[in-house]
Structure 1
Amino acid sequence: MDARSSMHVVMLPWLAFGHILPFTELAKRIARQGHRVTLFSTPRNTRRLIRIPPELAEHIRVVDIALPRVERLPEDAEASIDLPSDDLRPHLHVAYDAAFAGKLSEILQEPYPGKPDWVVIDYAAHWAPAAAARHGVPCAFLSLFSAAVVVFYGPAEGLMGRGRYARVKPEQLTVVPDYVPFPTTVAYRGLEARESFTLVLAPDESGMSDGYRFGKCIAESQLVGIRSSAEFEPEWLQVVGGLYQKPVIPVGLFPPPPTQDIGGHKAALQWLDGQPRRSVVYAAFGSEAKLTSAQLQAIALGLEASGLPFLWAFRQPVDANEGESGLPEGFEERIDGRGLVCRGWVPQTRFLAHESVGGFLTHAGWNSIIEGLARGVRLVLLPLVFDQGLNARHLTEKKISVEVPRDDEDGSFAPKDIAAALRKVLVEEGCEVFGDKAEVLAVLFGNDEMNDQCVRDFLKCMLEYSRQHQGAL
């Protein structure tokens, strides 16, 4: 392939909203640089999530792949949000592996120009690098986690359960690894460590752990892209390259533009229009965490006790009985006029971009952090699962946000602590420091030119690698 030519890039996101959406956003940015993209998805996820602008339709092909029937997997489950409980995630992995590996094998055997020049993979596609290499095609692993998070989890060998940095018990996740050359608080706490060890590092019914999938993707890919920027976490990015012993490129933060259709939420936007600038708390907890009634009650009472206007993207608790609202009795009557509870899908980027929204009570998922900071919104973090505790430590030690404390044994949190954190960030004396930080970071996170330059740098590395290693795989 000539280094001046355009590429055909195949992209394989994992089946979670927080993975499909950023992969799609990156696909658009790659296409705008003149390259062709084939994006793997499933029919239901394409309908729900993937919107390709007409001007990019010739450059982006979305391939819908039907998942096979897998025991215990609900019939319409095509993303993690569709699973009634986390213990069904391994079954979604099994379906993903079978369907997506088969389709990748097909496309790798297509004659030029259908055959890809690169395959860009998410953590779950551990089989992709070897399959691509058999056809002389290189792979790039795209981390949708920050550099701080991937540094904490360590080298590929350790993620696969081998060598000095293998974590074999939860307590090892509560200490900063000795290869981090600077002081930091980025580590899990007790309950987080126990949950993350089970969810990430312990083998599941798919036959391997998520950590093993991560490690294999990193070890066998030719390049690694990190959804981050050198301006935001240079110290962590410097460590990643040494850990992985291969090129690591920050691909930018690429927040989605606030152009979503508002669906049935016109009234909510009109309500926001009537609120003072930067006064409203937007509360949302992502698509992965499955909150209980007790947790949602605490959040509701915390929002109420804060005295601040708020808009809450509410999802039913996993343990609610049919007909139950999941909210404290009389809550919506008490907060009438001051707070809004929006059910079902909400246009999050539209809400965060509204000038009346000043604070974001969030689970500290990397997607939501990026979306909030790109719009200059102050953050209050309530981490729940996966990388979220690490993100919360990272941002809090940078004095970007405030974290709501949780009980280290049972993970509970108190309404008064939610209220106190929100007031500290938005209205109490000294809150201006959080506003100043948010404004500075909005210039960085929301800078389209910087984000596009990171994508160009990533593509340049891919082109250069292909030129130097033509036929070597």
Structure 2
Amino acid sequence: MDAGMSQLHMAMYPWFAIGHITAYLHLANKLAERGHKISFILPKRTKARVEHINLHPQLISFIPITIPPVDGLPPHAETIFDASISLGTFIMTAMDRTEKDIELILLELKPNIVFFDYTCWMPNLTRSLGIKSVHYITLSMIFESYMECMEKQFRENNSVGNELNLENPPAGFPDPSIKLQAHEVRQLTSIVNSEFGSGVRYYDRISTSTRLSDAVAFRSCREIEEPYADFLESSYGKPLWLSGPVLPEAHAFTLEEKWAEWLSGFKDGSVVYCAFGSECRLHQDQLKELLLGLELTGFPFLAALKAPVGFESVEAAMPKGFHERVRGRGIVHGGWVQQTLILDHPSVGCFITHCGAASLLEALVSRCQIVVLPNFIDQLLNARMISRSIKAGVQVEKGEEDGLFTKESVCRAVKTVMDFESEVGKEVRENHLKLRNLLLTKDLEKSYIDSFCHKLQELVG
């Protein structure tokens, strides 16, 4: 604990998605390193999936809760990982129904601060208990900025999203070069305007949390998203805190022996690693195109993917004869893997990512060349930022209207970044290396976390 600083007790209640829970746990580890105490509230059965990430069990305590039943939600489902993205509104409804339980927990714990993201009722609850609230957002600032501009444009035109031309960025958006395809516009406006638990629109849930919380913070840094930090601070009308990248502590773990042994059988920088996070489930036709594209590259590959829609396992949906053709040089795995450690393995030279916020940060600090293949809301903007603004990766081409990719487009993107002679390949490698070196500058993350802790102390007073 730094001189002049006292130990704070913080509670955390992240959205019931593994990516959000792990992001909050990484922050909890950083805060615990500095002597702070964290009570981490999460669904009962989910605890076993993430407790290995807790590096400070003497300071980070898990508080398991039972999820209330909701019509339309499978009885076993606690997180998006257990269900699907399409059932997200039911997961959110279940989370909203825990408000009374959370009140009782907070009355007993008496923390100084509560971190939350989607539970927009949290600021009013904490205020009534004399507790401060921090809306800690793990999605990117570019996505939140786009959403703010969209909403303003909708209001000014007294219109709904599908009546507006959003293929050009909405007015006020910091980067006018960011353009979306027709299918992306439809998806983005549909999600932002959809009901997201308990009759609350997705955008309204975010904006209410932002407006009522005592502080707003992002898991990001100015080195990547400076224009969006400035824009959001002005738009919110309140200070914006940045925790920095909050990278996982890779040195605290060892890569599973079966993966270490398999990867070591290939030349340095030759393996393509492909993963789309804990939530994404492709349709079978797109899974086939992805796998055939990996085969077409000629590179060895490891693909960690969830079973596609309508299938119990990823193996059952693979193209006919695929397993035999790639035997010895390609693996498709349907379970969880240690992504940070795989990216750090010398044999891995390319990362095909869905561009979720956490995976994006892990990609940028890795030595791997980056191919982006976004699937869902914020990932669309993240991918554009990486491939068009920062130019540190290449995006897989998709159809303008249908949003479908082909095996040829997957292969083309991989070969572009892996070609050390191509102009595009050279440019993205140089830009990636510059940003990687900046993000890994000694004490950069420490300075963000130290500043973050000082702001927390000031908030409590």
| TM score, norm. by length of structure 1 | 0.90
Superposed CA deviations along residues 281-301 of structure 1, whole A, max 9, x for unmatched, are 101111222211101000011
Aligned length: 455
The reply to whether residue 451 of structure 1 matches residue 445 of structure 2 is yes
- The answer to whether the 8 Å contact 2:417/2:428 transfers is yes
State the one-letter code of the partner of 1:353. D
Q: Compute the displacement of 1:205 (Å).
A: 5.7
What is the rounded CA distance, in whole Å, between the counterparts of 1:244 and 1:321 in structure 2?
44
Pairwise mapping of residues 250-265 of structure 1 onto structure 2 (< 5 A)?
Answer: 250-258=242-250
User: 1:105-164: per-residue Cα shift (whole Å, max 9, x none)?
Assistant: 123323xxx411111111x11010011111222211111122212111117x948x9844
Q: Supply the distance in 1 between the matched residues of 2:122 and 2:442 (Cα, whole angstroms).
A: 31
Aligned residue type for 1:117: N
Name the counterpart of 1:470.
none
Give the distance between the partners of 1:165 and 1:6, measured in 2 at CA. 49
Per the alignment, residue 246 of structure 1 pairs with 238
Aligned twin of 1:293: 284
Q: Which amino acid aligns with 2:206?
A: F
Cross-structure match for 1:98: 97
> Which residue pairs with 2:81 in the alignment?
81
Report if aligned partners of 2:92, 2:196 keep a CA contact under 8 Å in 1.
no
Q: Which residue of 2 aligns with 1:116?
A: 111
Asked if residue 426 in structure 1 is aligned to residue 414 in structure 2, the reply is no
| Letter of the structure 2 residue corresponding to residue 386 of structure 1 | I
1:213-362 correspondence runs (5 A):
213-258=205-250, 266-320=257-311, 325-362=316-353
SS at match of 1:364: coil
- Structure 1 residue 212: Cα displacement: 1.5
Counterpart secondary structure, 1:315: coil
Q: CA deviation at 1:447?
A: 5.2
Q: What CA distance in whole angstroms lies between the structure 1 residues aligned with 2:433 and 2:314?
A: 43
Cα contact 1:256–1:349 (8 A) shared by 2: yes
For the pair 1:442 / 2:436, whether they are aligned, the reply is yes
Distance 1:172 1:250 in 2: 32
Q: 1:49 corresponds to which letter in structure 2?
A: V
Q: TM-score, normalised by structure 2?
A: 0.92
Change in Cα spacing, 1:445 to 1:323, as seen in structure 2 (3 Å) is closer
Alignment pair present for 1:142 and 2:133: no
Instruction: Decide whether aligned partners of structure 1 residues 262 and 339 sit closer, same or farther in structure 2, where only a CA change above 3 A counts.
Output: farther
Alignment of structure 1 residues 199-214 onto 2, 5 Å: 199-204=191-196, 206-214=198-206
Contact residue 54 and residue 60 of structure 2 kept, 8 A = no
Instruction: Tell me, in whole angstroms, the C-alpha distance in 2 between the residues paired with 1:95 and 1:109.
Output: 21
CA RMSD of aligned residues (A): 2.5
1-side partners of 2:76 and 2:248: how far apart? 26
Cα distance in 2 between the residues matched to 1:235 and 1:404:
25
In percent, how many aligned pairs have the same letter? 31
Q: Which residue of 1 aligns with 2:60?
A: 60
CA contact (8 A) 2:350 2:370 kept: yes
Matched, 1:178 2:168: no
1:393-418 Cα shifts (integer Å, max 9, x gaps): 11112111111111122221111111
Partner of 1:407: 399
* Distance in 2, Cα, partners of 1:198 & 1:32: 41
Tell me the secondary structure at the aligned position of residue 399 of structure 1: coil
- 1:471 counterpart residue number: none
- Whether contact under 8 Å (2:96, 2:198) holds in the other structure is no
What per-residue deviation string (whole Å, max 9, x for no partner) do you get for residues 229-268 of structure 1?
12222222111110111010111111213358679x5333
Is 2:25–2:54's contact at 8 Å kept on the other side of the alignment?
no
The 3-state SS of whatever aligns with 1:379 is strand
Q: 1:23 to 1:333 in 2, by over 3 A?
A: same
Equivalent-residue separation in structure 1 for 2:317 and 2:44 (angstroms): 31
Per the TM alignment, residue 453 of structure 1 is displaced from its structure 2 partner at its CA by 2.0
Q: CA deviation at 1:17?
A: 1.0
Task: Give the aligned residue type for 2:310.
Answer: D
Cα distance in 1 between the residues matched to 2:214 and 2:165: 29
Does the 8 Å contact 1:97/1:125 carry over to 2? yes
- In structure 2, the CA distance between the partners of 1:437 and 1:13, relative to structure 1 (3 Å rule), is same
Measure how far apart 1:64 and its partner are. 0.4
Which letter maps to 1:293?
Q
CA contact (8 A) 2:39 2:60 kept: yes
Q: Is the 8 A contact 1:43 1:64 kept in 2?
A: yes
Call closer, same or farther: CA 1:338–1:96 in 2, change over 3 Å: same
Q: 1:168 aligns with which of 131, 148, 160?
A: 160
Structure 1, unaligned stretches of length 5 or more? 468-473
Which one scores higher on RCO, CA 8 angstroms, separation ≥ 6? 1
> Is the contact between residue 308 and residue 314 of structure 2 (CA under 8 Å) also seen in structure 1?
no
* 1:43 equivalent in alignment to 2:36: no
Change (3 A) 1:262 1:191: farther
How many Å apart are 1:378 and its aligned residue? 1.4
Aligned AA (1:12): Y
Is the Cα contact below 8 Å between 1:8 and 1:38 reproduced in 2? yes
- What is the deviation of 1:358? 1.1
Q: State the alpha-carbon separation in 1 of the partners of residues 243 and 157 from structure 2.
A: 26
Question: Distance in 2 between the 1:286 and 1:53 partners?
Answer: 20
> How far apart are residue 15 of structure 1 and its match?
0.5
